[in-house]
Amino acid sequence: EQTTVEILSLAAGHIGSCADYLRRTVIQLEARNIRDATLWRLQGKVAAYLRSLQSGTPLPAPTMEIDYACEG
């Protein structure tokens, strides 16, 4: 799950970041009375990861391998 958090925190495309898309998704689901505990947990971890980046708190070394072949 840490790899997923790192990818969602750092990835972005032409219309925005994955982190923002996740945040907007959980908010819209909640507005429709759809509560997905897994998505909320993931959202919380992504938010914490981003806060740690902004605060300068040292992070563990990335566990993901970036595959640039997926860019498009």
Give 34-45 pLDDT, tens digit per residue.
999 999 999 999
pLDDT above 60 for 1 = yes
Q: How far is CA 65 from the centre of its chain?
A: 16
pTM of the full predicted structure? 0.73
| Integer Cα distance of 21 and 27 in angstroms | 10
Predicted confidence band at 72 (pLDDT cuts at 50, 70, 90)? very low
Q: Where are the domains of the chain?
A: 2-70
Count Cβ atoms within 10 A of the Cβ of residue 23 and give its class: 0-12 exposed, 13-18 middle, 19 or more buried: middle
